[in-house]
A and B are shown apart, each in its own frame.
Chain A
Amino acid sequence: MSDAASLFKVNGVLLVAIREDIDDTDIVDLQDRLSNAVNDEAVDGVVIDISALEIVDTFVGRVLGQLAKIAHLLSSDTYVVGMRPAVAMTLVELGMTLPEMRTALDVDQAMRRIREGE
């Protein structure tokens, strides 16, 4: 099993911490694990922490968007949190504004929003 990211379940929220040097195979693998985990564990929400991620390309950007969509299809709120300024700028430059993705500043804020049922 790959360790592209660590998955924790905290208070009914699935927390996904993505590792710094994630590559294309890892992230596809993660997509698989995440969908299974969301399905099995009946979580209220998913928080994907990408604060370790320093480099993004269109592929990673797209997979992030897909992760959010998949979790949404499996009926749980998904937040991507901790995006670095440089990463945000790169994604915008690449034209990937990921409108389907919910974002929050940090894990704390995302947890709060999930609790509030936003």
Chain B
Amino acid sequence: MSAGQETLKVLAERFDDLLLRWTEAQSEEGVQRTDVFSKKEVREQSTRLLRAFLDGAKGGDLDDPDLSTESWADLRDALREVSEERTERGVTPTQMATFIHALKTPLFEFLTDRIDDSKALAAELIVAARLVDAFALHTTEAFIEHREKVIERQRAEMIELSSPVVELWKGILAIPLIGALDSARAQEVMENLLEAIVERQAEIVIVDITGVRTVDTQVAQHLLRTAAAVRLMGAECIISGISPTIAQTMVQLGVDVGEVLTRASIRDALVHGFNKLGWDIQSIKRPDEHAGRRDGRGGRV
């Protein structure tokens, strides 16, 4: 008789006992997390997993369990769903793996009850251990896969959210950049910006880098390329929001902005844009407060 057959029998014949003892073992290990799941939910999850495990074991190669094969498809689905459910409520991957590992305790007990011959028992236990290990390992994989999906989704969302093109005035667009500017984002920014120029018929484009944490040679390169593309489209590009620190860094790095117009603040850039388009900002004249204001409010710009 090949090793693994007894394990299969235990799984099939003593399914309910195994399930009961498994949930008990989970409880002993303290990984049931009854603070976030009800007893009923844990029981349902365990039943679903054990059922899929049994079905998979029937069709799978027990000596060399490979959970990526077709016969384990059910178990993979069950695992993915259960680990998503559990991790969403704050269960750690270690707890999730221990949750599965708890199956070893009853499984080994039942096998020990059944097999008297020590050699046969040892062989059987090795197979059973390997099976449960593969099972537990896969939970970690499912967990990582789920996390990676979340990260990827958030990245995409972040890219979309972080490069909005706003129209400040007819013909004046602004794009406030926030955070790190890597190649992928620079590309996204450039595409959005150029499309917006055509759409809104903009003549002035202000790229505001107040929110950009650091400017290294690569970021500067991206900015200059964006400015060059904007110019090719027939609009004028102004880079604003260059802080004193960033200005120093750029000079130390030897970044040459060439013909690209730069301004310290988005306000200065906007004023330049207005002038360029033939607009002027003036205060609404009130006789009593008209004269001699120096606080920056009112007056001509």
Which chain A residues have a beta carbon within 8 Å of chain B's beta carbons? 79-85, 87-89, 91-92, 97-99, 101, 103-106, 109-110
Q: Which residue of A lies closest to B193 (CB)?
A: A85
Is B50's CB within 8 Å of the partner chain A? no
**Chain A residues positioned under 8 Å from B229 (CB to CB):** 85, 88-89, 91-92
CB distance from A91 to the nearest CB of B (A): 6
**Chain B residues positioned under 8 Å from A81 (CB to CB):** 234
Sample of 20 further A-B pairs with CB below 8 A, known A89-B229, A92-B229, A105-B234: A79-B234, A80-B232, A81-B234, A83-B234, A84-B198, A85-B194, A85-B195, A85-B197, A88-B230, A88-B233, A97-B228, A99-B258, A99-B259, A101-B232, A103-B233, A105-B197, A105-B233, A106-B234, A109-B234, A110-B234
A104 in contact with B191 given A85-B198, A99-B258, A99-B259 (CB within 8 Å): no
23 pairs from A and B in contact (CB 8 Å cutoff): A79-B234, A82-B234, A85-B191, A85-B194, A85-B229, A91-B229, A92-B190, A92-B229, A92-B232, A97-B228, A99-B259, A103-B231, A103-B233, A104-B234, A105-B197, A105-B202, A105-B203, A105-B233, A105-B235, A106-B201, A106-B234, A109-B203, A109-B234
A103 in contact with B234 given A88-B229, A97-B228, A109-B203 (CB within 8 Å): yes
The 5 closest A-B pairs by CB, nearest first: A85-B194, A97-B228, A103-B234, A105-B234, A104-B234
CB distance from A108 to the nearest CB of B (A): 9
Give the contact-size bracket for chain B. 20 to 34
A97 in contact with B235 given A85-B194, A85-B198, A105-B197 (CB within 8 Å): no
**Chain A residues positioned under 8 Å from B232 (CB to CB):** 80, 83, 87-88, 91-92, 97-98, 101, 103
CB distance from B205 to the nearest CB of A (A): 11
CB distance from A49 to the nearest CB of B (A): 11
**Chain B residues positioned under 8 Å from A92 (CB to CB):** 190, 225, 228-229, 232
